[in-house]
């Protein structure tokens, strides 16, 4: 998948939790995190290896580990679930693509790669090949497929508009109590 669909998920999760650009960036990064394994191509680790692309970092175990790390950091179980589930959306969406190898979602129990029986999303070319006609097609399909999430995430909120309306202070005035 190109990044557009994963980022849409991350921004929508941020929107559901608390909207600000830091949350949007953080959850987008989490939704993209499993693709950190593209480093495997540089390290010449075979695609099909457990630590190759769509391998260990595309497992539910990795998503759970991210959730545990969030819990260890903030001691917030709701945040931990949200982090784990956001990361887990990545392999599920990749399993809906129509190319490459499947995702090793059950690693380390099994190295087997999986796809869903229905694969409506075109697989993205890797690296500079993304700048090809095929890359443009993938971006267009993903932009369309994830449009509802983008709309949900970016639709203006009433509260946000009230905060930003000129002449309406967002905080009560500070009074001098000498
Ligand atoms: Zn991926």
Could you state, in order of their start, the residue ranges of all structural domains in the chain? Answer: 3-116+133-161
Is the pLDDT at 12 greater than 90, yes or no? yes
Instruction: Give the model's confidence band at 133: pLDDT under 50 very low, under 70 low, under 90 confident, else very high.
Output: confident
Question: Of 131 and 96, which is predicted with more confidence?
Answer: 96
How far away, in angstroms, is 3 Cα from ligand 1 center?
Answer: 9
Give the pLDDT mean for 102-111.
97
Question: Of 161 and 68, which is predicted with more confidence?
Answer: 68
pTM: 0.84
How far away, in angstroms, is 119 Cα from ligand 1 center?
Answer: 14
Supply the pLDDT for residue 172. 54
Evaluate whether 124 touches 1 at the Cβ level (below 8 Å): yes
Is the pLDDT at 163 greater than 70, yes or no? no
pLDDT, the chain, mean = 88
How far away, in angstroms, is 115 Cα from ligand 1 center?
Answer: 12
How far away, in angstroms, is 36 Cα from ligand 1 center?
Answer: 8
């Amino acid at each position: 998948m190109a990044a557009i669909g994963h980022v849409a998920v991350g921004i929508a999760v941020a929107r559901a939790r608390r909207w600000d650009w830091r949350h949007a960036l953080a959850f987008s990064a989490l939704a993209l995190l499993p693709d950190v394994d593209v480093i495997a191509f540089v390290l010449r680790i075979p695609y099909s290896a457990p630590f190759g692309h769509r391998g260990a970092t595309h497992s539910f175990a990795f998503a759970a580990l991210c959730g545990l790390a969030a819990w260890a950091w903030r001691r917030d179980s709701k945040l931990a679930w949200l982090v784990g589930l956001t990361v887990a959306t990545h392999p599920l969406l990749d399993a809906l693509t129509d190319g490459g190898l499947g995702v090793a979602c059950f690693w380390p129990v099994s190295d087997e790669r999986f796809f869903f029986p229905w694969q409506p999303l075109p697989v993205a070319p890797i690296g500079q090949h993304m700048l090809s006609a095929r890359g443009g097609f993938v971006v267009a399909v993903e932009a369309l497929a994830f449009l509802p999430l983008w709309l949900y995430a970016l639709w203006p909120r009433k509260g946000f508009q009230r905060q930003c309306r000129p002449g309406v202070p967002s905080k009560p005035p500070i009074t001098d109590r000498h």
